Amino acid sequence: MTSNASPGSSPHGLEPSDSPVSPSQSRSGEKKKKKPKERNAFSELMTRKPQQQQRRSEEKAKGTRLKSSNMFKARDALGAYIKDPASFYPSAVLYYDDDFVAIRDRFPKSTLHILLLPREPDKSSLHPFDAFEDPEFLRKVQAETMKLRSIAAAELRRMYGKFSAQDRVREEALNADPPPDELPAGRDWEAEIMCGIHAHPSMNHLHIHVLSVDRHSACLKHRKHYNSFATPFFIDVNDFPLARDDVRRHPGKEGYLQRDFRCWRCGREFGNRFTMLKEHLEEEFEEWKKV
C-alpha cells in the first residue's frame, strides 16, 4: 500500500510543526509550564517578607525591652539589701540596723569597697543632692559614714599593716618588753579611705561609697570606672551641703568622666592610655602598701 503523504510530510498526515515533540523538547515544555509556578512561589515569598520583617522587628523590640528591663532591674539591685538585709550572707552584709545597711560592693573598684545604704523610705530613692538637702538626715549619714570609715580602716590595717613601715614601728613597740609608755601612732589608715557619692549615681537607691584609695581591682575596667573615683565626679560626703553654684552639680557639663587619666597617687598623666595606667596602678599599689 502506497502512502498518500507528500514528500517531507509525516507518515501520520501531520505537518512537521505538528509532529510529536522529542524528549528534550518535552522537558523544555515542562519547564515552560513550571515558570508560572516559580513566579508564583517567588511572589508568595515576597508577600511573606514584610511579615518576616515585622516578626524580626517585634523580636528585636522585645529583646531591647528585655535588655532595658534587666538594666533597670540592675539599677534597683540595692533595694533588696535595704528591704531584707538578713536574707544575705554575712560576707555580703557587714552590719545593719533600722537606719542603715553596710554591704560589700559586688564589683569593687579598690581592694576594699563598701557601700552604706540609708533605709529611710522617703530618702532611699532620692538623688544624693536632693536627699542631703535635709540637714538632720545629712548629719545622720555623715556620722554613720565616719563610723563605717573607722571599721574600714581597721580592716585595711589587718590586710596591709604587715607591709607598712609605719605600722612595723608600732608593732615592734607593742612587742617590746617592757612596752613603751606611749605607743607610736602607726599608719593613719583612716586617711587611706575615701567616703563619698557620685554626682550621677549608677544605682537608683541612695548609697555612699567607703573605699580604699588604691583603685587596685580587676573590676576597674575602663575610663568611667577610674574617673568616677579620680575626678570631682566623686564628692566627699563631708563636702555637703553643696553651694547652689557648685560646678560639681553639673558633672556632664564639666566632662569629668571624659578627662584624661591621671594617677591618683603621683599625679602622672596618661592621656587616654588605660592599659598603661593599669600597669602603673599595679606598681603604685605595691609602693602604697609599704608606706
Q: Is residue 7 part of a domain?
A: no
Q: Is residue 43 part of a domain?
A: no
Active site residue 207: yes
pTM of the model: 0.76
Q: Which of 31-35, 120-124, 201-205, 281-285 has the lowest mean pLDDT?
A: 31-35
CATH number of the structural domain spanning residue 274:
3.30.428.10
What distance in Å separates the CA atoms of residue 243 and residue 264, rounded to the nearest whole number? Answer: 26
Q: Is residue 48 part of a domain?
A: no
What distance in Å separates the CA atoms of residue 246 and residue 148, rounded to the nearest whole number? Answer: 27
- Averaged over 96-108, what is the pLDDT? 98
How crowded is residue 61: how many other Cβ atoms within 10 Å of its Cβ? 10
- Averaged over 162-191, what is the pLDDT? 92
Q: Is residue 38 part of a domain?
A: no
Q: Is residue 52 part of a domain?
A: no
From 113, 207, 209, 216, active-site residue: 207
Q: Is residue 57 part of a domain?
A: no
Q: Which of 2-16, 61-75, 125-139, 157-171 has the lowest mean pLDDT?
A: 2-16
Structural domain of 268: 74-289
- Amino acid (one-letter) located at 215: R
Q: Is residue 16 part of a domain?
A: no
Count of domains forming the chain: 1
pLDDT band at 34 (very low <50, low <70, confident <90, very high): low
Q: Is residue 118 part of a domain?
A: yes
